[in-house]
């Protein structure tokens, strides 16, 4: 079993998956599609390494693509050979605090966009006289519209 707090990295995937990282929230089992990255040095904080690996996403994609073959995959050796920047623990913690504050701002802005998108939908519905339909109903266009010309 992999301990909670371990960094996980997707080893393959043709979409955006390969190279993505996460911090495991619970103890769990994984398969070969995921690398478990455990920190053994007291010189690096988990959150700092997580953000650093997140920042290396494009680089990870490039080095796995450069290997050739039918499928671009990462492997343990490629991950072990990554060069990472390790400032003092105090500097790492300062960087993590700043990144987390910025992420909170990004998340708040995403929520604000969702709120305003819903307000726009509500306003459009009001303009068209559709406040909140009791239930949605689908009917054939021919029964709702006359004079449809299809060429």
d(CA 26, CA 41): 22
Q: Which of 113, 46, 59, 119 is nearest to 86 (CA)?
A: 46
d(CA 44, CA 94): 13
Partners of 10 in the β-ladder: 34
d(CA 83, CA 60): 11
Return the structure tokens found at 28: 């769990």
pLDDT at 151: 43
Q: Which of 12, 56, 4, 5 is nearest to 31 (CA)?
A: 12
pLDDT at 137: 65
> Among 17-26, 34-43, 70-79, 124-133, where is mean pLDDT lowest?
124-133
pLDDT at 26 over 60: yes
> Among 39-48, 63-72, 102-111, 120-129, where is mean pLDDT lowest?
63-72
Model confidence over 86-128: pLDDT tens digits?
999 999 999 999 999 999 999 999 999 999 999 999 999 989 8
Q: Where does the pLDDT of residue 131 fall: very low under 50, low under 70, confident under 90, or very high at 90 and above?
A: low
Q: Which of 57, 66, 52 is nearest to 18 (CA)?
A: 57
Query: Would you list the domain boundaries of the chain?
Result: 1-86, 88-130
Which residues, in sequence order, are CB contacts of 36 under 8 Å at separation 6+? 2, 6, 7, 8, 24, 30
**Listing from the earlier edge strand, what are the strands of the sheet with 7-10?**
21-23, 7-10, 34-37
CB 64 within 8 A of CB 37: no
CATH of domain 1-86: 3.90.220.20
CA-based angle 147:149:151, to the nearest 5?
170
């Amino acid at each position: 079993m992999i301990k909670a707090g371990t960094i996980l990295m997707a080893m393959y995937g043709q979409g955006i998956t390969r190279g993505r990282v996460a911090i495991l929230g619970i103890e769990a089992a994984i398969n070969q599609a995921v690398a478990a990255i455990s920190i053994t040095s007291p010189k690096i904080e988990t959150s700092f390494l997580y953000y650093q690996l997140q920042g290396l996403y494009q680089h990870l994609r490039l080095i796995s693509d450069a290997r050739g073959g039918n499928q671009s995959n990462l492997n343990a050796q490629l991950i072990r050979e990554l060069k990472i920047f390790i400032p003092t623990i105090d500097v790492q913690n300062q960087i993590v605090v700043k990144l987390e504050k910025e992420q909170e701002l990004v998340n708040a802005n995403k929520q604000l966009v969702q709120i305003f998108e819903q307000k726009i939908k509500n306003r459009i519905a009001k303009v068209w006289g559709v406040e909140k339909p009791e239930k949605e109903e689908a009917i054939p266009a021919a029964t709702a519209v006359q004079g449809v010309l299809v060429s």
